[in-house]
Amino acid sequence: MIPSPLDAPRQTAFGPVVQVAYHAPDISAAARFCAVTYGAGPFYMMEHIPLRRSLHRGRARPFDHTSAYGQCGDVMVELIHQHGDEPSAVRDMFSRDAVGLHHLAVFVPQLDAALSAAEEEEMAIALDAETVDGVRFVMADARQSEGCMIELYEQSDALARFYAFIRRKSVDWKGDEPLRRLEV
């Protein structure tokens, strides 16, 4: 059996990647593509995700977006679409109709320590936001080194349950109905 990289404890700035996120102007088409091409899914979509607060590069700005979450092997896949053209961590990289890798997400033991590590690596904080459930997430701009953003968040019981839900739904999935709605 090949050991998982998650089994090898070593010191890293952030930790292993738990999610890969793509900007997708048409989430339904992207979910179908990922399902047919990679066997990823099913995807669970949350529309117009409400946020308690959202700072883009230190300035309060709305971040009206829809995301769909599915599983592909050991990694969650997020398909993200921003409604509107307000400045944001999404618009920093993509116009409304562009498609591409937006961010890699990692769980960190302590968000403040991870933010310090990001600053040491000269990554600007493109987004600092909090969901209405109190989950804080940050996008560190790693485009100079990685070509994408890095999403950082502390693991919580709520996030662990959500990741487990997405993984569990993928286990015996037969490819039907690749996109499903979740109420926010």
Give the tens place of pLDDT for each residue, 70-117: 999 999 999 999 999 999 999 999 999 999 999 999 999 899 999 999
Please name which of 154, 153, 25, 131 lies closest in space to residue 79, comparing C-alpha atoms. Answer: 25
User: pLDDT tier at 7 (50, 70, 90 boundaries)?
Assistant: low
Fold for domain 15-38+51-169?
A: 2,3-Dihydroxybiphenyl 1,2-Dioxygenase; domain 1 (3.10.180)
Instruction: Write out the DSSP string of 52-98.
Output: EEEEETTEE----EEEEEEEETTEEEEEEEESS--S-TTTTT--TT-
